[in-house]
Amino acid sequence: MDNVDMARAFFGSSMAFHIIFATLGVGIPLMIVFGELMYQIKKDDHYKIMAKRWTRALGIILGVAIPSGTIVGVLLSLLWPGFMEIVGQVIAVPFQVEIWAFFLEAIFMSIYVFAADRLSNLMRIISVIFVAIGATASAVFITNVHSWMNTPRGFDLVNGEVVNVDPWAAVFNPSFAVTATHVVVSAYMTGAFIIASIAAFQLLKNKNNNEKEYHRKALFLSLMVGGLMSLTTAINGHETAQMLHEYQPEKLAAAEGLFETTAYAPLAIGGYVDKESEEVIGAVEIPWALSFLATNRFDGEVKGLNEFPKDTWPPLYIHILFNIMVGVGTFLIIISFVSLFYRFVLKKTYPRWLLWILTTTGLFAMIGIQSGWIFSCTGRQPWTIYYIQKTEDAATTSPGIGTLFVMFISLYVLLLLLTMIIMLFYFRRNPLSKELHGKGVNG
């Protein structure tokens, strides 16, 4: 591997690690807010306990999310100094504002956790709302930089020099709103389904009726949030596709394995894109659907890859990533609405087969998140800033990245294992039964 590939692998795996914790760090606070609100509305202690236990889990998650976020933030300058040189001159504002969001989140997280017993109900809810706002805002601001990489605005590059800088035009670049919405609602969705998974699992194996009642409430709340957010993600995903159609047509073309520009373009589901024969092998094609997705019209014209020089094509495997992302989203919408159908229409308890499927939703949501961002970043290749800077020109020239890469990967593996072990130990030592009987949470 040369330095550029090494830097990509290094940064990519660091992001993959961070995104697990960052996504939960955005998604779980929203669930805690709902838990607190439900407690105020229904005065049911179960919701209070829920909020408390989710907060404990969030504390552990943030213990990794904060340092791993520091890692990726600093690695940007270390591994992509050429990129950050332009970023600093054009899109430094959201990075800066993101720090204010971090402060807000950190301050109110400490207040919510360590001062809860000294706060009034209202102040406690306000603090946790500020935690959620801070977490969401930091996701929005960092996505702002990501969206700018896809649709760079607010400057000109003349002989390698950045000129005519307009920081606000950079901030309000055309893909910002739609991409930020996508990131935020999909994180909410993932946080909800992680909780749904745990609740469903507990309903399957737990025998205690009082505890089952608690988990049934947790499952219902998370399915409501998860169902709503997965639906919103899908609607917004449609807008994202239209944004790609307009601003990054080769990414959409590669995602769908479309080589020739056509009207009535079909949507290819599954299979893989073959560069030689220029077709998608093993896919189910839905006629006209891609045209409709991209343009809202069946006769809309969608650009194919052959419109672009081959050396600026994104890697064609992004078709698979795109399918995984969309597949996961579809699965989550269906499963949450089937579950809610059982509850609202059939007025029955969830059957065991459904609970088994529900236990997988958290994992699938996370897989969807991972494939989504890898799709967005590899789909931008060979550019790090679309049509401005190639990835190879952004990378560091320092020697020794390989060694550091191995060190960091070992660290990530260790932290993943430890986080799981610590979570298990913590919740085993502080079982729900203890808290349902009115004993407080330790630690």
Q: Cβ of residue 148: shortest distance to another protein, in angstroms?
A: 14
The smaller minimum CB distance to another protein, of residues 145 and 244, is found at 145
Strand partners for 161: 158
The smaller minimum CB distance to another protein, of residues 164 and 433, is found at 164
348: left (phi over 0), alpha (psi -120 to 50) or beta: beta
108 near another protein (CB under 8 A): yes
Give the residue from 421, 416, 425 showing the smallest Cα distance to 20.
416
- Local structure of residue 316 (DSSP, 8 states): T
Burial of 291-303, coded b for 16+ CB within 10 Å and e otherwise, reads bbbbbeeeebebb
Residues 277-306 that bind another protein (CB under 8 A): none
Q: Cβ of residue 134: shortest distance to another protein, in angstroms?
A: 10
- Alpha helices by DSSP H, listed for 115-208, are 121-150, 167-171, 176-205
162 near another protein (CB under 8 A): yes
Q: Cβ of residue 118: shortest distance to another protein, in angstroms?
A: 6
By CB under 8 A, which span of 27-35, 111-119, 261-269, 336-344 interacts with another protein?
A: 111-119
> For the chain, how many residues are written?
443
- Local structure of residue 305 (DSSP, 8 states): G
9 near another protein (CB under 8 A): no
Among 1, 40, 42, 88, indicate the residue that binds another protein (CB under 8 A): 88
Give the residue from 373, 56, 355 showing the smallest Cα distance to 223.
355
68 near another protein (CB under 8 A): yes
Among 25, 35, 82, 379, indicate the residue that binds another protein (CB under 8 A): 82
Q: Cβ of residue 95: shortest distance to another protein, in angstroms?
A: 5
Give the residue from 295, 298, 267 showing the smallest Cα distance to 283.
267
By CB under 8 A, which span of 34-42, 65-73, 184-192, 281-289 interacts with another protein?
A: 65-73
By CB under 8 A, which span of 103-111, 215-223, 284-292, 368-376 interacts with another protein?
A: 103-111
Q: Which two tokens stand for residue 289?
A: 């659907």
Q: Which two tokens stand for residue 441?
A: 């949470």
Q: Distance (Å, rounded) from C-alpha 195 to C-alpha 201?
A: 10
90 near another protein (CB under 8 A): yes
> SS3 helix, strand, coil % of the chain, rounded to 5?
75, 5, 20
67 near another protein (CB under 8 A): yes
Residue 102's SS3 state is helix
The smaller minimum CB distance to another protein, of residues 92 and 320, is found at 92
438 near another protein (CB under 8 A): no
Among 13, 89, 262, 330, indicate the residue that binds another protein (CB under 8 A): 89
Q: Distance (Å, rounded) from C-alpha 32 to C-alpha 4?
A: 41
The smaller minimum CB distance to another protein, of residues 26 and 219, is found at 26
Q: Distance (Å, rounded) from C-alpha 67 to C-alpha 350?
A: 39
The smaller minimum CB distance to another protein, of residues 142 and 254, is found at 142
Q: Which two tokens stand for residue 141?
A: 């601001």
Among 2, 114, 120, 209, indicate the residue that binds another protein (CB under 8 A): 114
Q: Distance (Å, rounded) from C-alpha 382 to C-alpha 395?
A: 12
104 near another protein (CB under 8 A): yes
The smaller minimum CB distance to another protein, of residues 32 and 178, is found at 32
Q: Cβ of residue 197: shortest distance to another protein, in angstroms?
A: 20
By CB under 8 A, which span of 55-63, 174-182, 228-236, 377-385 interacts with another protein?
A: 55-63
Q: Cβ of residue 407: shortest distance to another protein, in angstroms?
A: 7
Among 9, 37, 113, 224, indicate the residue that binds another protein (CB under 8 A): 113
Residues binding another protein: number (CB under 8 A): 75
253 near another protein (CB under 8 A): no
93 near another protein (CB under 8 A): yes
Do you find a cis peptide bond into 315, omega within 30 degrees of 0? no
x/- mask, another protein, residues 372-411, rule CB under 8 A, reads ------------------------xxxxxx--x--xx--x
Per the CB < 8 A criterion, the answer to whether 30 and 191 are in contact is yes
160 near another protein (CB under 8 A): no
Q: Cβ of residue 362: shortest distance to another protein, in angstroms?
A: 20
Among 16, 37, 78, 340, indicate the residue that binds another protein (CB under 8 A): 78
Strand partners for 272: 281
Give the residue from 174, 109, 167, 105 showing the smallest Cα distance to 138.
105
The smaller minimum CB distance to another protein, of residues 89 and 360, is found at 89
- The residue with tokens 């919408």 is 333
Q: Distance (Å, rounded) from C-alpha 241 to C-alpha 252?
A: 7
